[in-house]
């Protein structure tokens, strides 16, 4: 299967069943030069640090060499699950993550459905452009805006007072019972517009004949949404759900870290903050690494589980 | 809005809706309510941001009295002057610019090169390399091992810690690879027959043809680099000259949350003493820095809108 060209080079046509032979590797050396250094790079930055997981099974002391460390098995993991503060952190992480997940999906799908009903293209584009804006701002800026809006003389209390819904300003950020809601609302404010993009793209590719047919059957606007549009974007929703479920312990770090304060610490601390506090601030590397490993293991397990469920349901899947 | 007019164009859900039951009042009610909802959404999204701009243009000692909504009461450029007169913030701004430009250029070049090699079906290492990269999307070693790696590589307290660890993103690679798949094979074949090597094909053919998808990825990478603060917080916080704009903003945020309107804090946050004594307050400075930090993004993102869908519609990651 060789061809000799004008310029005297020989070109090997790709075969269906190729064996990894030296001549093939030599043939493709340019591709190898272009990709193997990058492979080495990712191995160094993403895989080599996993070696550091050994710290979780030792009483790690930075001054000692690897062979001098004391191995302690699952001691740190046991400590974590007996530690009240870690259990509280786990509760916060799960609660905020579930709130964010549900709020995020529901609001984005509803907004996409409503945007889809807007007829004037210019108006629709304008609303979309504006709704993307917060997605591009950093959490630093967004939490600054949230803190300003929720201050005792902020716009939220202002509006509530003017509407006579409250008698005196609510101290939103100093009361733990509001914290999870504030984090959820901040996420919605920041991401809802952005999350509609993918749904709107899916809606645009639904066959118009389906709408025509539904209409001939006398379906109302709402029935069409429910029986044509929603089933049309179902695969998209499933894929996004699978991806989100893998991140169930990623309730975020920035929002909680930036908005949290001493008064709401029992509600605001997440696993990531716990790792930061124990690891880098207090130097308890072993415990912090154990918490990190726990997070990763749960994430991967949840991802595989969601993928398996999707497979059983015969839906689109990720892997 | 409420009065349906017939617009030519593709049969969308809206266009079909337009033709239902002309006599009924339902479409008018729905469209009116929908429009009101969208207006509320636009206000809720834009107001906090507009208010920040107004506060940044208002004399700080006047803002404290409250009642500043959508128009400055005592207009002044003083806040911006104070921001740029402060060496730390000015320096942080340029560090942010440098890391953003460098990250974007390196990221685009390397990620596209990798995506091209992994789009070649005949490439022997295609599958293993792809898998190794995709796995990095679902787990990471965690904060502590990552920190130790940076320490081993002597990247702590250097500018390169902002750029090197995040030079390639697996997700972006998949997006670009999917796009390269739509480029006709015959283009690449004919270049090869003319004797072009893989690298030349990548530079001369692939790179120029990928412009739409690269525009999106460039935006994502640039926004990510511009908005990140955690690396500055973890790796370079002991070197003021390496601080980034977002990190400076974060310090302003936490100091003004703890000590409202205290000139001493403002002076500590890197302002000149006379600025602190005049009409500049931490709140007004923070507003000005927020505006400075978001202007580059505001200038760019509306023009990239048509590319977003390309970047987000990766579909599923299947091999």
Asked whether residue A197 is domain-assigned, the answer is yes
CA separation for the pair B138, B89 (Å, rounded):
36
Longest dimension (CA), chain A: 88
At B317 the pLDDT is: 40
Tokens of A102: 């549900």
Domain boundary among B208, B228, B255: B255
Domain boundary residue among B231, B255, B279?
A: B255
Closest residue in chain A to residue B226, using alpha carbons only: A138
| Tally of domains within chain B | 2
Decide if B298 is inside a domain: no
Place of tokens 């504030």: A182
Task: Give the predicted TM-score (pTM) of the model.
Answer: 0.85
Same domain assignment for residues B209 and B251: yes
Reading the block at residue A303, the tokens are: 């991802």
Would you say residue B275 lies in a domain? Answer: no
Contact partners, residue A286, CB within 8 Å, separation at least 6: A55, A56, A57, A58, A59, A60, A72, A76
Do B122 and B247 fall within a single domain? yes
- Residues A249-278 as b/e (b if ≥16 CB within 10 A, e otherwise) read bbbbbbbbbbbbeeebbebbbbbbbbbbeb
Beta bridge partners of A11: A3
Is B188 found in the same domain as B43? Answer: no
- Give chain A positions within 8 Å (CB) of B122: 14, 18, 28
- Evaluate if residue A12 carries a pLDDT over 80: no
Q: What is the pLDDT of residues B200-250, one digit of tens each?
A: 999 999 999 998 889 889 999 999 999 999 999 999 989 999 999 999 999
Model confidence at B151, pLDDT cuts 50, 70, 90, reads very high
* pLDDT tens per residue, range B96-126: 999 999 999 999 999 999 999 999 988 999 9
Flag whether pLDDT at A249 surpasses 90: no
B204 domain residue, yes or no: yes
Task: Using a pLDDT cut of 90, give the percent of chain B over it.
Answer: 50
Across A90-113, average pLDDT? 95
d(CA B9, CA A121): 11
Average pLDDT over residues B280-303: 89
Testing the interface with A: which of B144, B175, B300 to mutate, by most A Cβ within 10 A? B144
Range of the domain at B19: 11-63
Q: Is the pLDDT of residue A131 over 80?
A: yes
A131 interfacial to chain B (CB closer than 8 Å): yes
Contact B230 A254 (CB under 8 A): yes
CA B213 to CA B175: how far, in whole Å?
Answer: 8
**Residue A65 falls within a domain, yes or no?**
no
CB contact (8 A) between residue B15 and residue A119: yes
For the residues A118-122, what does the mean pLDDT come to? 90
User: Over 80: is that where the pLDDT of B271 sits?
Assistant: no
User: For residue B172, is pLDDT > 60?
Assistant: yes
| Chain A: closest CA distance from residue B266 (Å) | 16
What pLDDT sits at residue A14? 54
B53-101, pLDDT tens digit by residue? 999 999 888 888 878 888 889 899 999 998 888 889 999 999 999 999 9
Average pLDDT over residues B288-311: 84
pLDDT given at position B5: 45
Place A318 in a pLDDT band, splitting at 50, 70 and 90: low
Segment B291-299 shows an average pLDDT of: 91
Higher per-residue pLDDT: A243 or B7: A243
Mean pLDDT of all residues in A243-258: 84
The pLDDT tens digits for B17-33 are: 555 555 578 888 999 99
- Residue A287 makes CB contacts below 8 A (sequence gap 6+) with A76, A79, A80, A278, A279
> Residue A199's domain is classified under what CATH number?
1.10.3720.10
Q: Quick check: B117 and A137 CB within 8 A?
A: no
Q: Does the residue A140 lie in any domain?
A: yes
Nearest to B14 among A28, A50, A118 (CB): A118
Nearest chain B CA: its distance from A212 CA (Å): 7
**Residue A126 pLDDT class (50, 70, 90 cuts):** very high
Chain B neighbours among A 13-32 (CB < 8 Å)?
A: 14, 18, 20, 24-25, 28, 30-32
Across residues A254-275, what is the average pLDDT? 91
B81's tokens? 């002057």
pLDDT at residue A107 tops 90: yes
Burial B36-51 (b: 16+ CB within 10 A, else e): eebeebbeebeebbeb
Residue B267: band (very low, low, confident or very high) from pLDDT cuts 50, 70, 90:
very low
Structural domain contains residue B225: yes
What is the model's pLDDT at position A9? Answer: 56
Share of chain B above pLDDT 70, in %: 82
**Tokens 């080495």 sit on residue:** A40
Question: How far is residue B237 from each of residues B243, B251, B309, measured CA to CA in Å?
Answer: 7, 11, 37
> Does residue A96 form part of some domain?
yes
Q: Looking at per-residue confidence, does A169 or B273 come out higher?
A: A169
Q: Is residue B68 part of a domain?
A: no
Average pLDDT over all residues of chain A: 88
Question: What residue spans of B259-281 are helical by DSSP H?
Answer: 263-268, 273-277
More confident: A238 or B309? A238
Domain membership of residue A190 (yes or no) is yes
Q: Is residue A319 part of a domain?
A: no
Model pLDDT, residue B160: 96
Q: Which domain holds residue A131?
A: 76-313
pLDDT surpasses 60 at A89? yes
Residue A221 sits at the vertex; the CA angle it makes with A108 and A118, to the nearest 5 degrees, is: 55
Q: How far apart are CA A47 and CA B141, in angstroms?
A: 7
The first and second tokens of residue A205, run together, are 């590719």
Q: Are residues B28 and B153 in the same domain?
A: no
Q: How many domains does chain A have?
A: 1
Q: Which residue has the higher pLDDT, A63 or B130?
A: B130
For A70, which DSSP code?
A: E
Integer Cα distance of B232 and B247 in angstroms: 7
Q: What is the DSSP letter of A164?
A: T
Task: Using a CB–CB cutoff of 8 Å, tell me whether A106 touches chain B.
Answer: no
Mean pLDDT, range A176-186, rounded to an integer: 95
Residue B152 lies inside a defined structural domain of this protein? yes
Give me the phi and psi of A142, to 5 degrees please. -65, -45
């Amino acid at each position: 299967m060789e061809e000799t060209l004008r310029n005297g080079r020989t070109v090997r046509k790709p075969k269906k069943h190729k064996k990894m032979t030296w001549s093939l590797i030599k043939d493709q050396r340019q591709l190898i030069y272009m990709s193997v250094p990058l492979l080495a790079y990712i191995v160094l930055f993403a895989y080599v640090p996993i070696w550091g997981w050994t710290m979780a099974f030792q009483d790690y002391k930075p001054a000692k060499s690897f062979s001098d460390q004391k191995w302690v098995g699952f001691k740190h993991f046991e400590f974590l699950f007996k530690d009240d503060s870690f259990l509280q952190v786990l509760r916060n992480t799960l609660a905020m993550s579930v709130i964010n997940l549900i709020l995020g999906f529901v609001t984005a799908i509803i907004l996409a459905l409503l945007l889809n009903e807007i007829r004037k293209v210019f108006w629709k584009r304008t609303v979309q452009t504006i709704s993307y804006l917060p997605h591009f701002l950093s959490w630093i800026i967004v939490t600054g805006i949230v803190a300003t809006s929720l201050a005792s003389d902020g716009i939220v209390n202002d509006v509530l007072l003017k509407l006579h819904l409250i008698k005196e300003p609510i101290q939103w950020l100093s009361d733990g019972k509001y914290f999870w809601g504030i984090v959820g609302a901040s996420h919605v404010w920041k991401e809802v517009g952005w999350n509609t993009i993918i749904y709107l793209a899916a809606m645009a590719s639904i066959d118009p004949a389906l709408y025509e047919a539904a209409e001939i059957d006398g379906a109302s606007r709402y029935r069409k949404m429910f029986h044509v549009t929603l089933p049309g974007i179902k695969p998209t929703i499933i894929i996004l759900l699978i991806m989100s479920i893998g991140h169930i312990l990623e309730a975020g770090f920035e929002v909680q870290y930036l908005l949290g304060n001493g008064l709401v610490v029992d509600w605001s601390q997440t696993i990531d903050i716990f790792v930061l506090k124990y690891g880098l601030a207090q130097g308890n590397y072993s415990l912090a690494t154990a918490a990190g490993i726990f997070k990763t293991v749960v994430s991967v397990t949840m991802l595989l589980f969601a993928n398996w469920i999707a497979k059983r349901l015969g839906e689109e899947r990720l892997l | 809005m409420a009065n349906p007019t017939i617009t030519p164009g593709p049969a969308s859900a809206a266009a079909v809706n337009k033709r239902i039951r002309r006599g009924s009042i339902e479409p008018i009610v729905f469209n009116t309510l929908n429009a009101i909802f969208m207006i509320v959404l636009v206000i809720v999204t834009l107001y906090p941001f507009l208010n920040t701009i107004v506060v940044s243009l208002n004399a700080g000692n006047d803002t404290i009295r409250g009642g500043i909504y959508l128009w400055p009461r005592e207009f002044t450029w003083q806040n911006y002057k104070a921001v740029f007169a402060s060496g730390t913030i000015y320096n942080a701004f340029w560090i942010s610019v440098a890391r953003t430009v460098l990250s974007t250029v390196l990221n685009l070049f390397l990620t596209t090169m990798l995506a091209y090699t992994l789009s070649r079906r005949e490439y022997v290492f295609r599958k293993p390399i792809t898998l190794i990269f995709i796995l990095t999307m679902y787990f990471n070693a965690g904060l502590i091992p990552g920190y130790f790696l940076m320490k081993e590589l002597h990247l702590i307290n250097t500018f390169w810690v902002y750029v090197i660890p995040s030079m390639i993103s697996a997700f972006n690679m998949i997006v670009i690879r999917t796009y390269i798949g739509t480029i006709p094979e015959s283009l690449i074949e004919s270049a090869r027959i003319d004797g072009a090597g893989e690298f030349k094909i990548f530079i001369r053919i692939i790179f120029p043809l990928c412009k739409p998808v690269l525009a999106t990825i460039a935006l994502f990478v640039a926004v990510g680099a511009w908005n990140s603060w955690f690396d500055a917080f973890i790796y370079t916080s002991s070197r003021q000259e390496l601080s980034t704009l977002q990190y400076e903003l974060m310090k302003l945020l936490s100091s003004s949350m703890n000590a409202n309107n205290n000139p001493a804090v403002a002076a500590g946050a890197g302002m000149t003493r006379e600025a602190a004594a005049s009409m500049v307050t931490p709140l007004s400075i923070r507003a000005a820095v927020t505006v400075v930090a978001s202007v580059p993004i505001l200038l760019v993102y509306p023009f990239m809108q048509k590319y977003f869908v390309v970047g987000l519609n990766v579909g599923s990651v299947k091999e």
